[in-house]
Amino acid sequence: MRRYGTAVFVAPLMAAALLAGCGGQESAPAPQEQAGAGNAVAEPAARPGTLAVTDAWVRLAPVAGRPAAGYFTVRGGGAPERLVSISSARVATIELHESGMNDGMMTMRRIDGVDVPAGGEAAFAPGGNHAMLFGVDPGVKPGDLLLLDLTFASGEKLAVEAKTFATGDAPVAAPKSGVQGAEHGGEHSGH
């Protein structure tokens, strides 16, 4: 993947991102396809029946001081679970947000948790649920791995390394794991 080709392609999306008001959730990147950005985040193979977090990445803010947005997929274990908070040693505050459309404008609001069905998954993806990262350590640079600590209602905690991207470098292909809900593999199972 050639970086300059990506940059040209992304430019119109950046304008849309500025209109979105909170860092932008409009494009649909797929970090696992960002071969040009260097080493991919190692994905621990999620075993069936085990609560896990995969495909984590963070879009850093285009302007210093603005919040960043985090995306990932939570795979449910053997029992229903609920993600209730996220923290990071390098981020002052992380909120769970959901996005929606209101009179044609993308809006977002804070939510207090997201259910993860047993055996299903909860996707945090552009245009939908996301983690809002306020006060990101300015030393975090694109390409760095940002450790996120997820806490669930049962008390279980999971840590995941999220690869960070500058807004303009965020990949633009549709995410493989961006499907909302419990069904997995539907959209890419064809040929």
**Largest Cα–Cα distance in the chain?**
45
Name the strand (E) or helix (H) holding 16. Answer: helix 3-20
Give me the least distance between CB of 147 and Cu ion, in Å please: 20
- Looking at the Cβ atoms of 22 and 147, the one nearer to Cu ion is 22
- Ranked by CB distance to Cu ion, the top (closest) residue is 97
- Looking at the Cβ atoms of 44 and 100, the one nearer to Cu ion is 100
User: Tokens 């603005």 map to which residue?
Assistant: 66
- Looking at the Cβ atoms of 46 and 114, the one nearer to Cu ion is 114
CB 54 within 8 A of CB 47: no
- Looking at the Cβ atoms of 77 and 175, the one nearer to Cu ion is 175
Helix (H, G, I), strand (E, B) or coil at 32: helix
> Which parts of this chain interact with Cu ion (CB under 5 A)?
22, 97, 108, 132
Give me the least distance between CB of 119 and Cu ion, in Å please: 28
- Looking at the Cβ atoms of 22 and 41, the one nearer to Cu ion is 22
Give me the least distance between CB of 159 and Cu ion, in Å please: 22
**The token pair that represents 47 in the structure block:** 């075993």
Inter-CA distances, 178 with 7, 112, 153, 184, Å: 22, 21, 23, 10
Return the closest-CA partner of residue 29 out of 179, 188, 180, 174: 174
Give me the least distance between CB of 154 and Cu ion, in Å please: 25
Name the strand (E) or helix (H) holding 2. Answer: none
Give me the least distance between CB of 130 and Cu ion, in Å please: 6
